[in-house]
């Protein structure tokens, strides 16, 4: 297939990476670039549960987004391909950006291979309509540095290594937050350890090298990587170490007066994060907290990653005014038990919004089940 033929097809780009690396911000940055160039974009997000902050955030930015909820892409492969087909048919999109769950790996065997082999529901014409890009893995410098220094054979390290190991392109995100010498050291390490991978430094938030990443992703084509050497028992154990929480609720002022939702959300995130970052677990904490609040056509979106340091709240968008009520979505992925995670979530809702009417719409808290891909490894 020549370049001219590939350009007629819808490009499907899968962007993976560990929790808190900035995958969603990367996808938003890529989408804006593509829209500016006149391309039609579709996005498929993914979560083990429901009520995903990322889906709401991307939709609020005017993008066409569908979600696979309740399981990862690889374990709900037929639903994933249904969403892909639906977006292409609905909008005749030029590029589809797909974000798997942050705790997933072995994507080549469970997603890429089945796609290229036209396996699964409605995939009889995949190769006639789509061109599959190389696998992009977004990584965060702090986690890479921790991995470089940590000689332990932990399950989380094992999972993180496998994500990097199968990448075609590793995008080292948030590069503008670190010294150039540190980024150069990280890039050299990755290039030497994972032979053949393209390593690129980016800042999705501040539009550094996003054009280059787009060129790498759209200019290349998946060429049939070798399958990972992976132990699924260890993979499952790593995922099971994480508590997974999704909350949605409606918060309303009892006296009918407007209130500062931005300030309330910051307070909630600070207290939620502080419950873990001040504990003895801090040094080994694996964590990601995302919060989203929407009122009328206005919204707040922010996150805290890694050690849940309350001083490192990253606000992607803040509300322009005060309102009488809002809908809130909270996604937390933390190395703790679901029981502890639920308790912290509910206690701080009571503390921060105790003077408000709070109606819980959904609260789910669990550890991911053992991965069982729709199409196993050959």
Angle at alpha carbon of residue 301, lines to 296 and 304, rounded to 5°: 160
What pLDDT is attached to residue 3?
Answer: 42
Specify whether the CB–CB gap between 200 and 212 falls below 8 A.
yes
What domains are defined for the chain? 3-236 (3.40.50.300), 242-366 (3.30.70)
- Predicted model pTM: 0.92
Burial class (CB in 10 A: 0-12, 13-18, 19+), 302: buried
Q: What is the pLDDT along the chain (378 residues), one digit of tens a residue?
A: 344 444 467 899 999 999 889 999 999 999 999 999 999 999 999 988 888 888 888 998 889 999 999 999 999 999 999 999 888 888 789 999 999 999 999 999 999 999 988 776 656 667 778 889 999 999 999 899 989 987 677 898 999 999 999 999 999 999 999 999 999 999 999 999 999 999 999 999 999 999 999 999 999 999 877 889 999 999 999 999 899 999 999 999 999 999 999 999 999 999 988 887 655 544 445 678 999 999 999 999 999 876 556 567 889 899 999 999 999 999 999 888 999 999 999 999 999 999 999 999 999 999 998 999 998 765
What pLDDT is attached to residue 126?
Answer: 75
Would you tell me the crossing angle of helices 338-352 and 261-277 to the nearest 10 degrees?
A: 140
Specify whether the CB–CB gap between 251 and 328 falls below 8 A.
yes
Token couple for 174: 């948030």
Q: How far is CA 227 from CA 78, 103, 212, 349, 372, in A?
A: 21, 18, 27, 45, 17
Dist. CA 331–CA 102, nearest whole Å: 12
Burial class (CB in 10 A: 0-12, 13-18, 19+), 91: middle
What pLDDT is attached to residue 274?
Answer: 82
What pLDDT is attached to residue 288?
Answer: 85
What pLDDT is attached to residue 91?
Answer: 72
Specify whether the CB–CB gap between 253 and 324 falls below 8 A.
yes
Distance of CA 105 to the CA centre of its chain: 13
């Amino acid at each position: 297939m020549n370049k001219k033929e590939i350009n007629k097809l819808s490009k499907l780009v899968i962007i993976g990476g560990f929790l808190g690396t900035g995958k969603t911000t990367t996808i938003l940055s890529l989408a804006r670039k593509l829209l500016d160039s006149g391309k039609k974009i579709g996005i498929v997000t993914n979560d083990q549960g429901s009520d995903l902050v990322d889906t709401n955030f991307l939709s609020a930015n005017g993008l066409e987004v569908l979600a696979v909820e309740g399981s990862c892409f690889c374990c709900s492969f037929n639903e994933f391909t249904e969403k892909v087909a639906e977006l292409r048919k609905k909008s005749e999109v030029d590029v589809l950006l797909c974000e798997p769950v942050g705790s997933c790996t072995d994507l080549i065997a469970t997603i890429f291979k089945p796609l290229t082999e036209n396996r699964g529901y409605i995939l009889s014409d995949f190769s006639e309509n789509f061109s599959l890009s190389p696998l992009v893995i977004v990584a965060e410098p702090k986690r890479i540095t921790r991995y470089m220094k940590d000689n332990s054979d932990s399950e989380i390290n094992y999972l993180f290594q496998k994500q990097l190991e199968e990448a075609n392109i590793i995008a080292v995100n948030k590069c503008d937050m670190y010294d150039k010498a540190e980024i150069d050291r990280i890039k050299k390490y990755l290039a030497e350890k994972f032979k053949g991978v393209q390593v690129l430094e980016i800042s999705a938030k501040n539009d550094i090298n996003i054009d280059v990443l787009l060129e790498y992703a759209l200019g290349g084509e998946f060429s049939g990587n070798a399958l990972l050497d992976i132990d699924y028992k260890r993979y499952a154990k790593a995922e099971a170490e994480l508590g997974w929480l999704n909350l949605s609720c409606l918060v309303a002022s009892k006296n009918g007066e407007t209130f500062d939702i931005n300030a309330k959300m910051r307070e909630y995130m600070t207290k939620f994060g502080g419950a873990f970052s001040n504990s003895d677990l801090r040094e080994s904490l694996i964590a990601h907290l995302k919060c989203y609040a929407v009122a009328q056509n206005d919204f707040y979106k922010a996150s805290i990653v890694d050690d849940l340091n309350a001083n490192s709240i990253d606000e992607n968008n803040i509300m322009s005014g005060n309102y009488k009520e809002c809908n809130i979505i909270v996604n937390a992925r933390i190395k703790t038990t679901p029981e502890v995670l639920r308790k912290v979530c509910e206690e701080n809702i009571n503390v921060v919004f105790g003077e408000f009417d709070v109606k819980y719409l959904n609260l789910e808290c669990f550890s991911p089940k053992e991965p069982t891909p729709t199409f196993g490894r050959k």
